[in-house]
Structure 1
Amino acid sequence: MKTAKANIPDRRSTLDQQRHSKMAESAHAYVRGNTKRFYEWLASDAVKASLPSGPDVWICGDCHTGNLGPVADLHGNIDIEIRDVDQTVIGNPAHDLLRLGLSLAMAARSSDLPGVTTALMIEEMIEGYIARLTGHSANITPNEIEPIRRVMRLAGTRQWKHLAEERIEDVTPTIPLGRRYWALEEPERTALENLFQEEKLHRLVEGIRGRTEEQVALLDAAYWMKGCSSLGKLRFAALIGVGKKKHRQFHLLDIKEATAAAAPRALHALVYEDHAERVVTGARALSPFLGDRMIAAQLLGKPVIVRELRPQDMKFELNRLTREDAIRTARLMAGVVGRAHGRQMKPAQRTAWVKELRSRHTRGLDAPRWLWSSILDLAALHEAAYLEHCRLYALGGAAA
């Protein structure tokens, strides 16, 4: 593994610049990268009083469109699930609906779709959510939505070599340093080597492989500049080899720092002192395909999530949506969230929650008034904040 002399100030500066740049790409990108602003709005007493309170369940906490996508289980089966649960808490399921509704509205805006399309998307979102919440079909399949059909078809054909080419540029057991991957500092290298001696790491590999007593070797690792909200936190890519050298198979692991969630937890919910344990527990409740490939650990005195990356795990890019695709996407994605919430509820809780969701409709709009008015407020807030972010980023870039 390559190491470098400590250079934290330069690393942090580069990460901050990258984060600002990504968030300035579009209003939709700004929403995806700024969970904090969403929950600042939610903290208002007036807002909290206007929202329904659903049963306390594990929620995603950052339920935007980029955090839903194809995920593979331990046996290679693929389904659309919530694929990022860093913000997960036991909380109000209405918060996930709001966050998803805002993200869908901004995706429609970025695709230059008219406002009436956004209204129809919110209607379909509620119907898809309720259908899957109660165990029914959402009456929509990924094949009916071109950008989703394309990604799902690709996910079904991907193998290790595709993941290697995409993530590490080669199938050889090294991670090439460059724009995305940086050399480890000496304390990081030592900490990673120690982590891979721990029993829990070996149990994760055994679960992934479905067999025991195999040799596990850390072949290479690097600091990973990835994502948006995670920039500036600990993030490493680790390449491991399993089995004897002649018949060794490779796996790529994502090691990511777990920090306090911005999403508010339910009043009487269990408090997790270890944020990595919170994330892993929430993942297993919301997205079993993902949760079964994760463990909580400690690295450099901080809680981290260790997750196996699979070639089938992909992201939907919802750019230039047509009117029909936007409406169908809203129904499909809300259905994914509805199923994740519904599997945690008792029948009586689901019935009461559906009744609450179907109440208080806006005149002329078959969607709850609280949801529509909240999305209007949030869209206006984030649009203004996005433009201000762009101004500050542009001025900062010019000054630099």
Structure 2
Amino acid sequence: MLVPIAPSDRQGRLEATRLLKMASSTHAYVRGNTVKFYEWLAASPSAALLPQGPSVWICGDCHLGNLGPIANADGQVAVQIRDLDQCVIGNPAHDLIRLGLSLATAARGSDLPGVTTARMIEEMVDGYERALSDEADAAPEPEVVRAVRRRALGRGWKELAAERLDDVAPTIPLGKKFWALTTRERDALGRLFENEAVRDQILALAHRDPQDKVRLLDAAYWMKGCSSLGTARYAAIVAVGGSKRVPDSIALVDLKEAVPAAAPAARDAAMPADHAARVVAGARALAPHLGERMLATRLLGKPMVLRELLPQDLKLEVDQFTKREATRAARYLAYVVGAAHARQMDKGERAAWLKILRNHRGAGIEAPSWLWKSVVELIASHEAGYLEHCRRYALAQAG
């Protein structure tokens, strides 16, 4: 029998869960420790060698799990960046390094040889540069990505509810992932879904009738993610149109607290001061399918990002690469990131950034030394950090 989690016990349980997740593998440690990445960036001598790209919105946490199929308001699906918590206006080279580190640790987790990792970094650079070139076609979609995108296209409410809620009924089952709300939280969520801007955002999806009513059916505190564990997060089910008992449709809404980004912003960056507004602005620049579905709001004094979850939104799970899939995925995913950066640049900026990148490369398609050295240093740093994390975690459990 599951013991209900009291609101006063949330932070301790969230932190324990985060530490456990990060101890599961080096790749999980990398995904859950954005701060360590930027600590390295600030301290490493190699960081001074990084090329300075044009100041554009960057993901700031560009690892494999933050890329995947995303549906827009009309249900069209594309592979884009799917998590923008860390987004800032900054140096696009930071996203390349973060993606390279994630690919390299995923390859190590799949027991692939170092030669394959080297090829992945080379293919990644080629895919990214292809996105900046006006003449280049899109990088070919690897089977590991195509399979997830195909699965996304055939999904509906039943698949979404079964995956997210473990139940297809329009209720949120309290238990391991979903915890009871305080009276204050429930009242605040009730008021939020009566807000005109929130109602309009939900009705903008799937060609819903703009005159429909939006009614809150159920809500809970949501224990989700890894690096974000410890920030406020809620799941809400709302009825759209019809009556409360027989609505025209059901929507599952994610409300996530927006916190300061660890990623360094460009010195002259003009970004919203409100962190939720920053996340939404970055999403609209980097991942239009997702950005158009997001709204910056506030709940109990905290900046929150609200978005309806769609059945087509899926995460890429590529922890078990083959050699061929690894290099193809590296090329394609870097192309996706490059396209997100490139759409913010004019033709001259793209050409100038492409020239800088190519000037830092050797003969053939050899990866630039700044990227390779950065990834190698980061793997060593994160491997040591991961082992130390596991040691501390084991000692804490023994105590």
Which range, TM-score by smaller chain?
over 0.9
- Which residue in 1 is equivalent to 2:117? 118
Q: Does 1:280 align with 2:277?
A: no
Q: How far has the Cα of 1:171 moved from its partner?
A: 2.6
- Which residue in 2 is equivalent to 1:231? 229
Partner amino acid for 2:327? I
Quickly say closer, same or farther: Cα 1:365–1:346, change in 2 above 3 A. Answer: closer
CA displacement, residues 363-382 of structure 1 (integer Å, 9 cap, x when unaligned) = 78711111011111111000
- Report SS of the residue matched to 1:352: helix
Bigger drift between 242-251 and 360-369 goes to 360-369
- Which residue in 2 is equivalent to 1:332? 332
- Which residue in 2 is equivalent to 1:391? 391
Q: Quick one: distance in 1 between partners of 2:181 and 2:83?
A: 25
Q: How far has the Cα of 1:345 moved from its partner?
A: 0.4
- Report SS of the residue matched to 1:20: helix
Q: Quick one: distance in 1 between partners of 2:78 and 2:131?
A: 14
CA displacement, residues 184-238 of structure 1 (integer Å, 9 cap, x when unaligned) = 0111111111111111101101211433110100000000000001111100000
Within a 5 Å distance, the mapping from 1:1-400 to structure 2 comes to 7-44=6-43, 46-135=45-134, 136-141=136-141, 144-145=142-143, 147-210=144-207, 211-245=209-243, 246-361=246-361, 366-399=366-399
Q: Quick one: distance in 1 between partners of 2:5 and 2:166?
A: 26
Q: Quick one: distance in 1 between partners of 2:95 and 2:266?
A: 14
Q: How far has the Cα of 1:76 moved from its partner?
A: 1.1
Preserved CA contact (<8 Å) 2:64 2:99: yes
Partner amino acid for 1:217? R
Q: Quick one: distance in 2 between partners of 1:365 and 1:284?
A: 32
Preserved CA contact (<8 Å) 1:69 1:314: yes
Q: Quick one: distance in 1 between partners of 2:62 and 2:257?
A: 19
Partner amino acid for 1:335? Y
Quickly say closer, same or farther: Cα 1:131–1:5, change in 2 above 3 A. Answer: closer
CA displacement, residues 126-173 of structure 1 (integer Å, 9 cap, x when unaligned) = 1101111224224312xx33x323212211111111101111222322
Q: Quick one: distance in 2 between partners of 1:271 and 1:341?
A: 16
- Report SS of the residue matched to 1:84: coil
RMSD of equivalent CA atoms: 1.6
Q: TM-score, normalised by structure 2?
A: 0.95
Ranges in structure 2 where 5+ consecutive residues have no aligned partner: none
Partner amino acid for 2:234? F
Partner amino acid for 2:288? P
Q: State the identity as a percent.
A: 55
CA displacement, residues 16-42 of structure 1 (integer Å, 9 cap, x when unaligned) = 111011111110010000000000111
Q: TM-score, normalised by structure 1?
A: 0.95
Ranges in structure 1 where 5+ consecutive residues have no aligned partner: none
Q: Quick one: distance in 2 between partners of 1:52 and 1:292?
A: 31
Deviation >6 Å, runs of 4+: none
Q: Quick one: distance in 1 between partners of 2:298 and 2:17?
A: 26
- Report SS of the residue matched to 2:389: helix
CA displacement, residues 101-122 of structure 1 (integer Å, 9 cap, x when unaligned) = 0100100010001101011001
Q: Quick one: distance in 2 between partners of 1:394 and 1:5?
A: 26
The size of the alignment, in residue pairs, is: 393
Bigger drift between 204-213 and 267-276 goes to 204-213
Bigger drift between 312-321 and 360-369 goes to 360-369
Q: Quick one: distance in 1 between partners of 2:330 and 2:239?
A: 40
Preserved CA contact (<8 Å) 1:119 1:365: no
Q: Quick one: distance in 1 between partners of 2:252 and 2:311?
A: 10
Quickly say closer, same or farther: Cα 1:45–1:17, change in 2 above 3 A. Answer: closer
Q: How far has the Cα of 1:46 moved from its partner?
A: 3.1
CA displacement, residues 68-102 of structure 1 (integer Å, 9 cap, x when unaligned) = 00001111111100000000000000000000001
Preserved CA contact (<8 Å) 2:4 2:175: no
Preserved CA contact (<8 Å) 2:239 2:247: no
